[in-house]
């Protein structure tokens, strides 16, 4: 059952990106590319042959596949069916370090290609994630406090109803702070604009300018997986405990779908922030998360 | 309804942080309006529905009036003043936005610490309302003292008032209404007068920067480029 849910998660992740895009198309009055566009794109890219930049070394060669591998491990350890398996003894920080490792490998690959624009993209990527990490760890600290457990499934076992009654303010604050991280880490509006895919205004994907063919497919699929993972984390921060099993997994995937729709709506009604404002907003999110911890400790 | 009131108070705290970091007059006015709405609906959320049944006409009345005056009338008046005064749309900070946010955060720390020290948990409607109102009052004072424009100072007064009425709503659900009405009238008059004053100042001196108003007294010490601001009458 656990393995089936992991396979389901791996198969469904491009679909959620499709949901975001269809929501945006609906708001813009367009027909949209369809829910399954990313599957076709990945399929097309996988059939192409590889091209490597002349000056690159073995780092560029393995960067995208290794990055995808580390995100895939995060998918495997995530408690999709509500606990059990590996997730009950893996610490929750490990989950975020896996995602960070994926990002680190992408950055290394981009720097190895020796392209100045990719260097700029890497610099921005690292700068943003450095700010996002502050928020992530304050939020994690809060969740560990709340659940009195440091394992991944312990933290993500669902918020108890009595916690919702006693600690509403901190939960709402922490949720909003993590929404900022979620949008920033997945290069979504208002932190970044995925419409400018592979262009220089893009922050996260300026790093992929030299990547093509199967490597680009890996990068796109890895991004979709990361979107799904962080959305699932977000859902588990507010979802009450349903017990474990298929009901839990179904509720989780439905929640991820809802969040995808919400992201589409946000992107339809908001413009991208000025570049300098993004780290400031992430620091604001860190302050909100710190307030949550404060409220939790005081009351 | 207890849960709702706390969610609403969490939004209030976030509005405080957002106000400290708002770089445009329009967005600052929007956040003040949000706070006004929250102050308005809070008495209904804080009302103990299960024990007391449907709240009386007095609660509904004060709630509606607060929401309309603070959530609609004053923001409209403020945006009218901004439009009329033709000032630049940006907030001009003396203390940077980042620093202001951090100061508001420290105020929240102080607010929660004092809220715990006060020991008035038995009588009040919501224990979160007190620290949040302290933070809001602090934010108001910060906006008054650390921003240059006259309009921003009006916004600061409004935020301060929101904090005061939040305190009132949190402690005296039933008997604070008379006091509340008095404050509301004061602030309404204040916004009205300051709005007109800002407009008039601007028409005469082509700027509502309060730093420059300081120079009005000593005519001979004025900087040359400020001379055109000055009127001889």
What percentage of residues in chain B have a pLDDT greater than 70? 74
Q: Is A243 left (phi over 0), alpha (psi -120 to 50) or beta?
A: left
Which helix (H) or strand (E) covers residue B97, if one does? helix B97-117
Question: Taking the CA of residue B180 as centre, how many other CA atoms within 13 Å lie in the half-sphere pointing to its CB?
Answer: 28
Phi, psi of B147 (to 5 degrees): -130, 150
Identify the H or E element spanning B164.
Answer: helix B150-171
What's the CA gap between B228 and B206, in Å, rounded?
A: 9
Joined tokens for residue A131: 């700010």
Domain count, chain B: 1
**What is the Cα–Cα distance from B54 to A88, expressed in whole angstroms?**
48
- Report the SS3 class of residue A193: coil
Tokens 């007190």 sit at which residue?
B130
Mean pLDDT along residues B3-16: 86
- Predicted ipTM of the assembly: 0.77
- In angstroms, the CA B226 to CA B217 distance is 13
Q: pLDDT higher for A105 or B128?
A: A105
As a whole number of angstroms, the distance between CA A283 and CA B98 comes to 8
Q: Where are the domains of chain A?
A: 2-298
Are the C-beta atoms of A16 and A257 separated by less than 8 Å?
Answer: yes
* Pair of tokens at residue A9: 């998660």
Q: What is the pLDDT of residue B121?
A: 60
pLDDT in tens, B80-100: 878 877 777 788 888 888 899
Report CA A68 to chain centroid distance, whole Å. 13
Given a contact cutoff of 8 angstroms between Cβ atoms, the answer to whether B1 and B46 are in contact is yes
Dihedral class, residue A155 (left if φ above 0, else alpha if ψ from -120 to 50, else beta): alpha
Q: Measure the N-to-C terminal CA separation of chain A; round to a whole number of Å.
A: 40
What would the two tokens of residue A62 be? 């393995």
What are the residues facing B27 on neighbouring strands?
A: none
Question: Which has the closest alpha carbon to B72: B180, B165, B191, B157?
Answer: B191
Between A and B, how many CB-CB pairs are < 8 A?
A: 53
Which site among A164, A165, A168 would you substitute to test the B interface, given the most B Cβ atoms closer than 10 Å to its Cβ? Answer: A168
CA angle B136, A181, A296 (to 5 degrees): 45
Per-residue pLDDT at B218: 57
pLDDT of residue B230: 46
Cβ distance B10 to A173 less than 8 Å, yes or no, reads: yes
Do B116 and A298 count as a contact with CB atoms less than 8 A apart? yes
Asked if B115 and A298 come within 8 Å (Cβ–Cβ), the reply is: yes
- Bridge partner list, A159: A240
The pLDDT of residue B233 is 40
CA dihedral B25, B30, B32, B37 (to 10 degrees): 170
Give the separation between CA A64 and CA A125, rounded to whole angstroms: 16
| Number of other residues whose CB lies within 10 A of the CB of residue B105 | 22
Q: Which tens digit of pLDDT belongs to each residue from A223-267?
A: 999 999 999 999 988 888 777 678 888 999 999 999 999 999 999
Whether residues A299 and B10 touch (CB distance < 8 A) is answered with: no
Number of Cα atoms under 13 Å in the Cβ half of residue A152: 28
pLDDT of residue A287: 93
3-state secondary structure of B24: strand
The pLDDT of residue B227 is 46
In tens, the pLDDT along A274-289 reads 888 888 889 999 999 9
CB contact under 8 A, B112 and A298: yes
Among A168, A280, A291, beta carbon nearest to B7: A168
Q: Using CA atoms, how far apart are residues B179 and B158, in angstroms rounded to an integer?
A: 16
Half-sphere exposure of A175 (CA within 13 A, CB side): 19
pLDDT, tens digit, 9 for 90 and up, residues B161-186: 888 888 877 766 555 566 666 677 77
Chain B residues closer than 8 Å to A295 by CB: 112, 128
For residue B24, list its beta bridge partners: B90
For residue range A177-221, what is the model confidence (pLDDT) as tens digits? 999 999 999 988 888 888 776 666 677 778 888 898 999 999 999
A294 — contact with chain B (CB < 8 Å)? yes
| A159, pLDDT greater than 80 | no
Closest C-alpha to B4, from B31, B30, B32, B43:
B43
Distance CA A99, CA A230 (A): 10
- pLDDT class for B213, splitting at 50, 70, 90? low
Better-predicted residue by pLDDT, A166 or A184: A184
Claim: this prediction has a pTM higher than 0.80: yes
Contact by Cβ (8 Å): B138, B13: no
The whole-number pLDDT of residue B203 equals 64
Q: Would the CB atoms of B10 and A284 count as touching at under 8 Å?
A: no
Note whether A91 contacts B: Cβ–Cβ < 8 A. Answer: no
B193 Cα distance to chain centroid = 16
| Full domain range(s) for residue B67 | 2-229
Burial of A6-36, coded b for 16+ CB within 10 Å and e otherwise, reads beebbeebbbbbbbbbbbbbeeeeeeeeeee
DSSP state at residue A222:
H
Whether the bond between A190 and the residue before it is cis, its omega within 30 degrees of 0, is yes
Question: How many CA atoms, within 13 angstroms, populate the side-chain half-sphere of residue A269?
Answer: 5
């Amino acid at each position: 059952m656990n393995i089936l849910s992991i396979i389901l998660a791996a198969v469904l992740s491009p679909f959620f990106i499709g949901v975001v895009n269809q929501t945006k198309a609906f708001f813009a009055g367009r027909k949209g590319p369809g829910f399954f566009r990313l599957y076709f794109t990945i399929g097309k890219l996988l059939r192409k042959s590889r091209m490597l930049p002349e000056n690159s070394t073995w780092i560029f060669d393995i960067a995208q596949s290794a990055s995808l591998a580390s995100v895939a491990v995060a998918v495997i350890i995530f408690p999709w069916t509500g606990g059990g398996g590996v997730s009950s003894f893996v610490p929750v920080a490990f989950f975020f370090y896996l995602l960070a490792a994926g990002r680190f490998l992408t950055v290394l690959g981009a720097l190895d290609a020796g392209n100045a624009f990719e260097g700029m993209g890497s610099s921005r990527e690292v700068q943003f994630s450095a700010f996002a990490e502050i928020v992530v760890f304050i939020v994690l600290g809060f969740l560990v406090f709340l659940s009195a457990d440091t394992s991944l499934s312990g933290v993500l076992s669902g918020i108890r109803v009595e916690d919702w009654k006693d600690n509403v303010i901190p939960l709402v604050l922490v949720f909003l702070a993590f929404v900022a991280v979620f949008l920033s880490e997945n290069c979504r509006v208002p932190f970044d604009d995925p419409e400018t895919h592979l262009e220089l205004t893009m922050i996260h994907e300026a790093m992929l300018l030299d990547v093509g063919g199967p490597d680009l497919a890996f990068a796109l699929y890895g991004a979709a997986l990361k979107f799904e993972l962080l959305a699932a984390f977000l859902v588990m921060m507010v979802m009450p405990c349903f017990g474990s099993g298929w009901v839990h997994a179904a509720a989780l995937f439905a929640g991820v779908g809802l969040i995808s729709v919400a992201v589409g709506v946000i992107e339809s009604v908001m413009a991208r922030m000025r570049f300098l404002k993004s780290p400031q907003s992430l620091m604001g999110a860190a302050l909100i998360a710190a307030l949550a911890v404060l409220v939790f400790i005081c009351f | 309804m207890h849960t709702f009131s706390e969610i609403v108070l969490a939004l209030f705290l976030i509005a405080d942080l957002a106000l400290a970091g708002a770089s445009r007059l329009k967005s600052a006015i929007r956040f003040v309006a949000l706070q006004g709405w929250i102050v308005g609906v809070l008495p209904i959320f804080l009302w103990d529905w299960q024990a007391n049944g449907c709240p009386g006409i007095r609660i509904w009345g004060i709630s509606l009036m607060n929401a309309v005056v603070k959530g609609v009338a004053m923001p409209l008046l403020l945006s009218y003043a901004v439009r009329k005064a033709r000032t630049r749309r940006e907030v001009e900070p003396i203390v940077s936005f980042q620093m202001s946010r951090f100061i508001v955060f420290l105020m929240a720390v102080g607010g929660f610490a004092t809220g715990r020290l006060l020991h008035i948990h038995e009588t009040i409607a919501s224990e979160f309302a007190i620290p949040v109102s302290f933070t809001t009052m602090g934010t108001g004072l910060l906006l008054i003292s650390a921003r240059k424009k006259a309009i921003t100072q009006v916004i600061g007064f409004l935020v301060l008032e929101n904090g005061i009425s939040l305190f009132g709503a949190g402690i005296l659900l039933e008997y604070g209404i008379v006091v509340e009405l008095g404050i509301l009238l004061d602030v309404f008059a204040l916004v009205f007068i300051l709005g007109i004053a800002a407009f008039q100042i601007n028409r005469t001196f082509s700027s509502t920067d309060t730093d420059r108003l300081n120079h009005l007294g000593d005519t001979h010490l004025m900087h040359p480029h400020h001379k055109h601001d000055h009127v001889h009458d």
